[in-house]
Amino acid sequence: MFQPGGDKKVLCAGLICLDILSVLDHYPVEDTDNRIERQIWQKGGNCANSAAVVAQLGEQAEFIGTLATGRAADMVLDEMREFGVEIDHVVMHDGCDFPSSTIIINTHTGSRTIIHADKDLPELTFSQFQQLDLNWYKWIHFEGRNMTEVSQMVNAVQEFNHSASMEDRIIISGECEKAKYQPEYFISTVDVLFVAKEYAQHHGFTTAKAAVHGFHSRVKKSATVVCAWGEAGADAMGPDGVHHHTDAYSPGQVVDTLGAGDTFNGAIIAAMCRSLPLDEVLKFGCRVAGRKCGQFGYRGLRE
């Protein structure tokens, strides 16, 4: 593993959107009027969530992605700033619809029903990514989507690493979550591979242990594979090939599991930046993700 540089930043490159959570004690019957006490507006998007967690856990964090100009963008960017995440390189598009999700949380069953507005906002391009001075970063985390562009970004960081001194090399991590986005390019290229349960299941794995073993055989020699499996905890395997498992951390009462995976990823990145041993990294990730499930949103996750 590379030793991360001192004052450099963790960059998360991916999606940011607005999540509007309606919290009910039932699932609404069609064509009825429902009054609720609690509605939560928060930034969403895997990478935006992970960046907010990384920043909270004490690392300098930056997010890059695209946004449609307007009040909703101002809202989520305000929130990113509050979390201490730098957003100076976010690419703004005029005249596009703002990406947002309406999420109905039924506290009685714990179900989350998601209505995501998949709009016309272009995703981050390689040429926009090239505007970044890579000397500022010690870690770049990519979301597994928009892979035509993202694979070029990964290549550019690898090229930078080839000519950089050992201490200036950037750790690259990638999240394989949705199989439909075909994030396979990450498997052979990144230093830390996050395999989501959904993605592992798509590839026939039924446990985190099996997934970690399976993917570890395909990653770079120096790479680490991490896989969280909800209530079954999380597993990981580093370059030494030793398998680690940690049980899930129970928050007492599960309140909101939305973004628990993004929180886990952010906590793993923050722990690895501190060069903790892998079993400690894994425990830390599960603790922070568990704490998140015991509350709404992403605030107050620092221990």
- Asked if residue 33 binds its own copies (CB under 8 A), the reply is yes
What are the φ and ψ backbone dihedral angles of 174, each rounded to 5 degrees? Answer: -140, 145
Stretch that binds its own copies, among 16-24, 56-64, 217-225, 271-279 (CB under 8 A): 16-24
Looking at the DSSP bridge assignments, the partners of residue 13 are 64, 142
- Asked if residue 74 binds its own copies (CB under 8 A), the reply is yes
Task: Calculate the CA dihedral of residues 294, 288, 302, 113 and round it to 10 degrees.
Answer: -50
Nearest CB to its own copies, comparing residues 37 and 88: 37
- Asked if residue 94 binds its own copies (CB under 8 A), the reply is no
Looking at the DSSP bridge assignments, the partners of residue 39 are 22
Q: Which amino acid is at 103?
A: I
Query: 55, 64, 68, 72: which one contacts its own copies (CB under 8 A)?
Result: 72
Spell out, one character per residue from 214 to 253, where the chain touches its own copies: x when CB under 8 A holds, - when not.
----------------------------------------
Tokens of 2: 């590379």
- Asked if residue 97 binds its own copies (CB under 8 A), the reply is yes
Centroid of chain to Cα 276: 20
Nearest CB to its own copies, comparing residues 71 and 162: 71
Total residues at interface with its own copies (CB under 8 A): 39
Which residues are CB-neighbours of 284 under 8 A, at least 6 positions away? 267, 268, 270, 271, 276
Tokens of 286: 């599960």
What's 277's DSSP letter?
-
- Asked if residue 27 binds its own copies (CB under 8 A), the reply is yes
DSSP-derived pairing of the beta strands 61-64 and 137-143: unpaired
- Asked if residue 75 binds its own copies (CB under 8 A), the reply is yes
Tokens of 302: 């620092």
What minimum distance in Å lies between the beta carbon of 295 and its own copies? 18
Cα distance between residue 287 and residue 253, in whole Å: 14
Q: Do the Cβ atoms of 174 and 45 come closer than 8 Å?
A: no
Query: 119, 218, 274, 302: which one contacts its own copies (CB under 8 A)?
Result: 119
- Asked if residue 69 binds its own copies (CB under 8 A), the reply is no
Query: 71, 162, 180, 221: which one contacts its own copies (CB under 8 A)?
Result: 71
Interface with its own copies by CB under 8 A: which residues?
Answer: 20, 22, 24, 27-39, 41, 70-72, 74-75, 78, 97-98, 100, 102, 104, 106, 109, 111-119
